[in-house]
Amino acid sequence: MRYFETEGNSLVWRNRGETLMITPWGPDALRVRSCLMGEIRDDRWALVDPAECECHVEAEDERGRIAVGSLSAEVTMDAWHRYATIAFYKGDKLLIRETAPANALALKSRKFEPRLGGDFTLTVTFEGQEGEHIYGMGQYQEETLDWKGATLELAHRNSQASVPFYISSRGYGFLWHNPAVGEVSFGKNRTTWRAESAKQMDYLVVCGGTPKEISFAYARATGFAPEMPEYGLGFWQCKLRYWNQEQLLNVAREYKKRGLPIDVIVCDFFHWPRMGDYRFDPEFFPDPEAMAKELKEMGITLMVSVWPQVALTSENYPEMLQKGLLVRAEYGEQIGMRFVEDSMFYDATNPRAREYVWDKCRKNYWDKGVRIFWLDEAEPEYGTYEFKNYRYHLGSAQQVGNIYPQMYARGFYEGMKECGMEHPVNLLRCAWAGSQRYGALVWSGDIMSRWEDFRRQVCAGLSMGAAGIPWWTTDIGGFHDGWPDREEFRELMIRWFQWGCYCPVMRLHGDRKPVERVRRADGTEVLPSGSGNEVWSYGEEAYPILKKYLFRREELRPYVREIMHEAHVRGTPPMRSMAYEFPGDESLADVKDQYMFGGKYLVAPILRPGVISREVLLPGGCTWRDVDTGKVYAGGQTVTLDTPIERIPVLERLAE
């Protein structure tokens, strides 16, 4: 009996209603799909068209093999159960293998559990590998880099971005090509992926000799980030919130008056009459076109916040409801979030909805001179994250919900391209696999202004880069509960700002205390603003230090441009863990308090209060020069560096 066959350049196995297909997806990349009682689908959730490559396929009666580049997959049949399992190799080295039936245990590595009404709950398992390290997976608010032994929710939340791609220390990358809500557990004995609702199994395996080669293979399969525009290389000024036109312009004028470098200034949320109106409130912003023009003349680009929520009171709500452009609740009230007023999210998975929202934003923002958008609430942030209760154009939130931020970015990216922008890059609060090709610059969400949160952001940025999202930033100083007049927060702000200089994008933002009450001319109270959040808002001691790092970032502009270009053409993230830049060195496998900014600078941020010295591990094979003191250190040792409040340890990598 023949179980294996070829279809085009794919290897196919069939038995007992299951169809398993392995397809080349470019050099060193294989896509694996399986379905039960149906035909294999080609859902391009994250993948782009495969690059051309040579492929070798062998289909025997009870064995199959497919090879592309240095990557191969061998499919073998279990003699008892006639069940096929897959093992992936780079040459003769085993990379990853599905779990076997284990004789009398009758286990299945691909389990399709039927759901009433159709589709399946899907579980896929792989053998655990001794000594393996797992990096990437997106952004989780944990002080962790190596996810081996961890369990992660595959779902988005405010400050959590599930990007299900990881790089293994064994020399391969793995993409769970499924936008369903679910969970993954990287256990010692096995790795288990679970999707709450799915039509088929779909994953991608890539391989490479180094993490950089793996990143390249992954970006080739899912798309490269656009070139970072010049405005992304410098400093971005923001706060919650500049609530009127003159206030925003005065801040920009003050930066110029003081001779401080600034590339972007941000008009935050609730500058609109109602959520979902997608326009400036004329009472507070009477002439946005003149505002954008004056900023442009100062060399500053204006960024404007857009929310996907459409309030029930919005001028656009009745039409969007009638045309089916909103997310739909399966049960109860048609409300997705209650903040200021009741609202429902627009359905970014619906191409008609994306076109509708972009058309409003084009007329009311783009045509008035706005060139960057802050696409907030991109998860989207449901009031209770009851994923079972929402349905999109593409399917239930349980089945496709994680693709929402990618589609949100896509709508604006495509609209801006049509308007003539060559490389659109917009700020989002979330991402999924493939978001990078739509110019998604992700920030780490509404985090607290605390030292423990600061430490988590370093890990978050490194994990996002390893997961294929190179453009990343954070609210310098944290978002919630920062008081500029308190000494303990000023220390945190200084340390965070110094680190922000060595992030892909340097962006100052936060809801500073105490609040500023805001009223309309008729006395009606509207959403409040926060206290000042400019570099001169933090006292006489902080200001010269913050100013120093503003100019340091400006000095780094040519270098930042260089490493941004590398991300664009190679998929290599600007912000890299030590294990990513120096693979194979076990002493660096879980180092999470220092990292590489590009291949040249080792950055060792101060992540705890009151620290005046810290140890820095210097990898061997090169020498290291302290950029502040000029002192040169041999590699292959741990050194203790002085860290007064005026400096963050940064060492330049020199040739041996």
Give the model confidence (pLDDT) of 519-537 as tens digits: 999 999 999 999 999 999 9
Q: What's the distance, CA 499 to chain centroid?
A: 19
How far is the C-alpha of 623 from the C-alpha of 433, rounded, in Å?
37
- For position 118, what pLDDT does the model report? 79
Whether the pLDDT of residue 44 is over 70: the answer is yes
User: Stretch 537-541: mean pLDDT, rounded?
Assistant: 97
The answer to whether 166 and 467 are in contact (CB under 8 A) is yes
pLDDT at residue number 72: 98
pLDDT category, 79, cuts 50, 70, 90? confident
Q: Identify the pLDDT of residue 115.
A: 84
Alpha-carbon dihedral of residues 121, 127, 130, 134, nearest 10 degrees?
-40
439 vs 104, higher pLDDT:
439
| pLDDT for position 2 | 86
Catalytic residues, by residue number, are: 376, 379, 446
Whether 116 has a pLDDT exceeding 80, the answer reads no
CA–CA distance, 296 with 306 (Å, rounded to integer): 20
**pLDDT tier, 24 (very low <50, low <70, confident <90, very high otherwise):** very high
pLDDT tens string 417-428: 999 999 999 999
- Number of Cβ within 10 Å of residue 176's Cβ equals 26
Residues contacting 166, CB < 8 A, separation 6+: 134, 135, 136, 137, 147, 173, 174, 466, 467
The residues facing 11 across adjacent strands are: 6, 22
Summarised one tens digit per residue, pLDDT across range 588-613 is: 999 999 999 999 999 999 999 999 99
Neighbouring C-beta atoms of residue 154, cutoff 10 Å: 24
Q: What is the pLDDT of residue 629?
A: 97
Residue 567 sits at φ, ψ, to 5 deg, of: -65, -40
Using the predicted structure, report yes or no on whether residue 80 has a pLDDT greater than 80: no
Domains of the chain (ranges, CATH numbers): 4-222 (2.60.40.1760), 235-306+352-384+400-572 (3.20.20.80), 576-655 (2.60.40.1180)
Q: CA 219, CA 171: separation in Å to the nearest integer?
A: 16
DSSP string, 562-623: HHHHHHHHH---SEEEHHHHSTT-GGGTT--S-EEETTTEEE----STT--EEEEEE-SSEE
pLDDT category at 127 given cuts 50, 70, 90 is very high
| Span 99-108, average pLDDT | 86
Strand partners for 371: none
pLDDT band at 656 (very low <50, low <70, confident <90, very high): low
Mean pLDDT of all residues in 531-556: 98
pTM above 0.95, yes or no: yes
CA atoms of 436 and 472, how far apart (whole Å): 10
Output the pLDDT for position 82: 86
- Alpha-carbon span 158 to 445, nearest angstrom: 6
Least confident of 70-79, 307-316, 591-600: 70-79
Residue 485 to residue 147: CA distance in whole angstroms: 38
Task: Check residue 21 and give its pLDDT.
Answer: 98
In the three-class reduction of DSSP (H, G, I as helix; E, B as strand; rest coil), residue 155 is classed as: coil
Query: Are the CB atoms for 566 and 215 separated by under 8 Å?
Result: no
What percentage of residues in the chain have a pLDDT greater than 90? 96
Classify the phi-psi angles of 28: left when phi > 0, otherwise alpha if psi is within -120 to 50, otherwise beta.
Answer: left
142, two tokens = 């944990």
As a whole number of angstroms, the distance between CA 650 and CA 656 comes to 18
Of 349, 360, 251, which is closest to residue 302 (Cα–Cα)?
251
Confidence of residue 16 (pLDDT cuts 50, 70, 90): very high
* Other CB atoms within 10 Å distance of the CB of residue 352: 12
Q: Confidence band (pLDDT; 50, 70, 90) for 107?
A: confident
Instruction: Calculate mean pLDDT across residues 260-268.
Output: 98
- Average pLDDT of 305-333? 97
When pLDDT is cut at 50, 70 and 90, the band that residue 401 belongs to is very high
